[in-house]
Amino acid sequence: MNNTLERGMGAVFFLSAAASILAVALICGFLLVNGLPIIFKTGPLEFLFGLEWSPTDTPPAFGILPMIAGSVYITAGAVLIGLPIGVLTAIFLAHACPKRIYALIKPGVDLLAGIPSVVYGFFGMAAIVPYTGNSILSACILLGIMILPTVTAISESALRAVPQEYYKGALALGAGHYRAVFSVVLPAARSGVLAAAVLGIGRAIGETMAVIMVAGNQARIPVSFLKGARTLTANIVIEMGYAAEQHREALIACGAVLLLFILAINISFSALTRRKA
Amino acid sequence: MKRKRKSSEIILAALTWTAAAATIGILLYLVVFILIKGIPYLTPSLFSFTYTSDNVSLTPALVSTVVITALSLVIAVPLGIFAAIYLCEYARRGNRAVALIRMTCETLAGIPSIIFGLFGLLFFVGALGWGFSVLSGACTLAVMILPLVMRTAEEAILAVPDIWREGAFGLGAGRLRTVFRIVLPAAAPGILAGIILAVGRIVGETAALLYTAGTVAQIPTTPMQSARTLSVHMYALSSEGLHSDQGYATAVVLLVVVILINALSAGIARRCGAKK
């Protein structure tokens, strides 16, 4: 009796663990099956590099390059802003921070990660948009803030993983404290910092609500950092409410393209972290 | 030479301190800003029991948030803990399934919420025919938080010293008994801290819910009805554009909830860290 219970629960545990495999398979399957037909109907090149997105015209045009460009620009800008501040904050936390201040700042950084994206969106609408408009720049600033905690946390643990001897060796060679950290410890942690950048990219490219609220959302190739743009994520949320048939399929295809981006980012992230270990 | 070294030290120090100050400054600015914009509109009528288009009460959204959170946890927490038990206690080393499970768990953790939303729309809402409903939303969120629960549970279980397990085996307990009587109780605080973090993610989620749980602003009476959580409620207020002040008031409530959740999770994590 006991033996059956042991074995039965063993099976339950295994099946639970297999749930994540099932989930990934279902997500990829459903997005690809529902999204790929319209891509092939439009022509993959036409779909990915088409300049015009007018899904409700007759005949409709499904070119998502404007949204891909929007996602890429906004993500790049966000990383440009968030990465240096995040890495420097991580250096502060790992190597410059008195214990008492650490106990105040670390929970603050964690809180920054826990604030919902709609709250960021409301903040952006009232605190950033009045200065920079509904624009790529606003989205970059807001997303730069949003990826800060991710970048900081991963960089900090990478910095802490560098053996103390490196730092001490640099001191022994006559470097000052900061000099030792910046020119010896930081380079030694570079794969971790790179991983932080990659994960930051992943967060920024997948962010939806906050971006919608500040980016202007015009579906055209971005013309300037002070003008609006639409990301892949925004495109899905804005139009899914009223989309039907082909239009709906095209939005799901946007999701599939985004998923492919994310998978590529995930793979490079795990390659980066694995090499370190 | 000496002066040069000193000035580079000062510059680098200034850089790091400024960046850290900026990070904390932004956080404080955001919190204070939301509080100032929102608190004046935290009126009693905002908490009235029913939502009307004149009085955009947040009580129904608050109730829906609790319901959807509870339902997602009921689904994801056992799955996540069992999966972690399998990975830590049952799987043999070098098992190929383990590598695949770890990889898919990592992948799930990196998928953005809008993709979960699309998947929920296609699978739970469409293929299973559940429509825009609390159930569809909760299932979508359960998939979303699964990797978080799984990973934190795994860490907590791994932190239980092997000698405890050996002791239990030595006293004649089977594997199952050891897991439930020795390992899980010892790992409970860590698991709980992870679950609270998951609650935080659910409470803040919007993109995954818009097209799965829908946006109906009333209290749901069955799991098959549509409902909006606080975050979705905020987004709806902002996109309608008529009640953005009430949106800020809702943001205050949400912010307070998130701060409490974070403090709770950190407190529990610290206590079990101190015990070790």
Q: Does B205 touch chain A (CB under 8 A)?
A: yes
Cβ within 8 Å, pair B97-A181: no
Q: Do A43 and A131 belong to one domain?
A: no
> Which of B16, B101, B180 best probes binding to A when mutated, by most A CB atoms within 10 angstroms?
B16
Q: Does an H or E element contain B208, and which?
A: helix B207-210
Q: Do A134 and A264 belong to one domain?
A: yes
* Distance of residue A104 Cα from the nearest chain B Cα, in angstroms: 9
Burial label, B171 (beta-carbon count in 10 A; 0-12, 13-18, 19+): exposed
> Which of A104, A122, A268, A274 best probes binding to B when mutated, by most B CB atoms within 10 angstroms?
A122
Q: Which of A17, A33, A54 is the last residue of a domain?
A: A54
Q: Does an H or E element contain A61, and which?
A: strand A61-62
| Number of structural domains in chain A | 2
Contact yes or no for B213/B227 (Cβ under 8 A): yes
| Shortest CA distance from B234: residue in chain A | A118
Q: Do A23 and A149 belong to one domain?
A: no
Q: Do A118 and A177 belong to one domain?
A: yes
Whether domain B52-275 has CATH 3.40.50.150: no
Cβ within 8 Å, pair B107-A24: yes
The answer to the question of residue A8 being in a domain is yes
- A222 alpha carbon, distance to own chain's centre: 20
Q: Which of A5, A108, A237 sits opposite B207 (nearest CB)?
A: A237
* Distance of residue B119 Cα from the nearest chain A Cα, in angstroms: 6
**ipTM of the prediction:** 0.91
- B176 alpha carbon, distance to own chain's centre: 29
Q: Do A220 and A188 belong to one domain?
A: yes
* Distance of residue B205 Cα from the nearest chain A Cα, in angstroms: 7
User: Mind listing the pLDDT tens digit for each residue in A194-210?
Assistant: 999 999 999 999 999 99
Q: Which of B16, B89, B231 sits opposite A91 (nearest CB)?
A: B16
- B131 alpha carbon, distance to own chain's centre: 24
pLDDT at B2: 54
* Distance of residue A224 Cα from the nearest chain B Cα, in angstroms: 25
Taking contacts as CB-CB distances below 8 angstroms, the residues of chain B near A182 are: 12
Per-residue pLDDT of chain A (277 residues; tens, 9 = 90+): 578 888 888 899 999 999 999 999 999 999 999 999 999 999 999 999 999 998 888 888 899 999 999 999 999 999 999 999 999 999 999 998 888 999 889 999 999 999 999 999 999 999 999 999 999 999 999 999 999 999 999 999 999 999 999 999 999 998 889 999 999 999 999 999 999 999 999 999 999 999 999 999 998 898 888 999 999 999 999 999 888 888 999 999 999 999 999 999 988 888 887 765 4
Q: Is the pLDDT of residue B223 over 60?
A: yes
End-to-end CA distance of chain B: 48
The answer to the question of residue A59 being in a domain is no
